[in-house]
């Protein structure tokens, strides 16, 4: 058997194995089960029901900011985005509650740049449900960026600004319902 015949033989075995896997995947011993009634408990736990994705992503969340499948407080989420709106965003995960900005160099100090990571840790509007990390870099004499220290008060100031904005958003939402 030469090389080309051996390759054809291997290909034939691979095709046969894939065909057997495909046929085996089609068989099932499961019995037919009709879809649950619209009023059953199973249907109420769908992604389109309260506690599921629902309409929260489109602005129809519960007034406490905890509705829907998003595992973070909606007011903290919006307040975080509002507070860091001046910085470019690198990554945003509303389901995990993580916002990561890209580097931002303030126009008044172009020799330094900042990056902020915001972590929303829960569904309640509480101070311990939020953590902010701030990173700073400064230009060295060669023009490259070197890590620099950030004052311990800077992340706390960001957290306080976010919490203040979140409280304002919640009060405004409550006032709209009355």
What is the per-residue pLDDT for 162? 96
pLDDT in tens, the chain (178 residues): 565 566 556 556 655 555 544 554 454 444 444 444 444 444 444 444 444 444 344 444 444 544 555 578 999 999 999 999 999 999 999 989 999 999 999 999 999 999 999 999 989 999 999 999 999 999 999 999 999 999 999 999 999 999 999 999 999 999 988 7
Do both 168 and 86 map to the same domain?
A: yes
Helix, strand, coil share (%) of the chain residues, nearest 5: 40, 20, 45
Predicted TM-score (pTM) of this structure: 0.61
What is the per-residue pLDDT for 79? 96
User: Which residue range forms the structural domain that includes residue 99?
Assistant: 70-177
Do both 164 and 84 map to the same domain?
A: yes
Do both 20 and 77 map to the same domain?
A: no
In a domain, 147, yes or no: yes
Considering Cα of 56, then 67, then 118, then 106, what sign does the dihedral take? positive
What is the per-residue pLDDT for 53? 41
What is the per-residue pLDDT for 70? 59
What is the per-residue pLDDT for 81? 95
Tell me, what CATH number does 165's domain have?
A: 3.30.530
Do both 163 and 88 map to the same domain?
A: yes
In a domain, 149, yes or no: yes
Tokens representing 18 are: 């894939």
In a domain, 163, yes or no: yes
Q: How many independent structural domains does the chain possess?
A: 2
Contact predicate 152/47, CB 8 Å: no
What is the per-residue pLDDT for 177? 86
């Amino acid at each position: 058997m030469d090389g080309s015949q051996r390759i054809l033989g291997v290909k034939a075995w691979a095709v046969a194995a894939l065909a057997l896997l495909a046929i085996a995947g089609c068989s099932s011993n499961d019995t037919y089960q009709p879809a649950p009634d619209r009023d059953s408990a199973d249907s109420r736990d769908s992604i389109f029901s309260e506690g599921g994705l629902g309409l929260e992503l489109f602005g129809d969340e519960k007034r406490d900011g905890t509705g829907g499948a998003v595992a973070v407080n909606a007011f903290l989420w919006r307040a975080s985005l509002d507070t860091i709106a001046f910085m470019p965003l690198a990554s945003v995960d509303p389901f995990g509650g993580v916002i990561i900005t890209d580097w931002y160099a303030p126009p008044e100090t172009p020799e330094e740049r900042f990056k902020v990571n915001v972590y929303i840790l829960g569904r309640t509007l509480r101070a311990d449900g939020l953590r902010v990390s701030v990173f700073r870099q400064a230009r060295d004499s060669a023009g490259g960026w070197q890590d620099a220290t950030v004052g311990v008060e800077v992340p706390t100031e960001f957290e306080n600004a976010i919490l203040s904005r979140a409280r304002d958003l919640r009060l405004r939402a409550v006032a709209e319902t009355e």
